[in-house]
Amino acid sequence: MEQITRTTLIHAGKANNVYATTSPDYLELESSDRISAGNGAKKDIVSNKGIANNQISSALFQYLESHGIPTHYVCEGSNPASKIVKKATMIPLEVICRFYAVGSFCKRYGCEKGKKFDTPFVEFTFKHDNPDAPALSDPPIDRKTIPLLSELTLVSDEREVALIEYYTARVGELMREFYIKLGVNLIDFKLEFGRLPSGEIILCDEISPDTCRLIDLKTGESLDKDRFREDLGDVSKGYEEILKRVCDQ
């Protein structure tokens, strides 16, 4: 493959920077040290988080790809915090997979924290950050509504909704196996998918301690962004610990 080199910054998101490259088919995705919670309400910098997240994400994308999940991962980028990815049209859904009831699930239904689900439980939210109406940000969206609002969701076919759901549940099973071997209990995670010019739907974005809840199996300690959300102290410890276990395996 020809050398792909990054050119201009085209998007600086809450946690990641997106660069155009010398090829129209590829982007460079760089994980930054920026951290935020509550849709940007709480913000800080965590040194070396970008490198840790990119290394963890890259290892997971390669693992999932080798187990039959199509992903955007292509190769390493220009620095340890970045990777080259296939450029996709992002589908504005956050696809959440839960093994236990925690976080927004418990808030929404007023249920007790910690209930374990028998199978990976998948739900969708509509990725629709709206600074003028924060209460409407990222509302839950059901399977039937996704194709009904295809002009907004970019998914017009019920079978594609089912495919996204299937990929997410499969990613859940594969990641739980992966993390159990590292002494980590995967509680829940969020995925984003995109569409290639061919129409193919692939797994995009990131899979990192910013987007997964990860608990140490022995100690019960949080090793993810909950350390920041819940002011548990030493935020970088979670990222460093997961990186170490992923690299040592």
Ligand X SMILES: Nc1ncnc2c1ncn2[C@@H]1O[C@H](COP(=O)(O)OP(=O)(O)O)[C@@H](O)[C@H]1O
Write out the two tokens for 10. 């085209």
Is residue 197 within 8 Å of residue 65, measured between CB atoms? no
Output the smallest distance, CB 23 to ligand X, in A.
13
**Residue 203 near ligand X by CB under 6 A:** no
**Residue 18 near ligand X by CB under 6 A:** yes
Which residues lie closer than 8 Å to 193 by C-beta, 6 or more apart?
A: 90, 91, 93, 95, 164, 167, 201, 202, 203, 204
In the chain, % helix, strand, coil (3-state, to 5) comes to: 30, 35, 35
**Residue 69 near ligand X by CB under 6 A:** no
Output the smallest distance, CB 149 to ligand X, in A.
18
Out of 87, 213, 227, 245, which residue is the one contacting ligand X (CB under 6 A)?
A: 87
Strands 212-216 and 201-204: unpaired
Q: What gap in Å lies between CA 77 and CA 84, rounded to an integer?
A: 5
| Contact region with ligand X (CB under 6 A), list: 85-93, 169-177, 179-187, 225-233 | 85-93
Write out the two tokens for 102. 């925690």
**Residue 215 near ligand X by CB under 6 A:** no
Output the smallest distance, CB 231 to ligand X, in A.
22
| Contact region with ligand X (CB under 6 A), list: 84-92, 141-149, 175-183, 235-243 | 84-92
Q: What gap in Å lies between CA 244 and CA 237, rounded to an integer?
A: 10
By beta-carbon proximity to ligand X, the closer residue of 93 and 101 is: 93
Out of 9, 13, 45, 200, which residue is the one contacting ligand X (CB under 6 A)?
A: 13
Quick one: which of 146, 86, 149, 95 has its CA closest to 122?
95
> Which residue sits closest to ligand X, CB atoms considered?
13
Question: Where do contacts with ligand X occur on this chain (CB under 6 A)?
Answer: 11, 13-16, 18, 27, 29, 72, 85-88, 90, 192, 194, 204-205
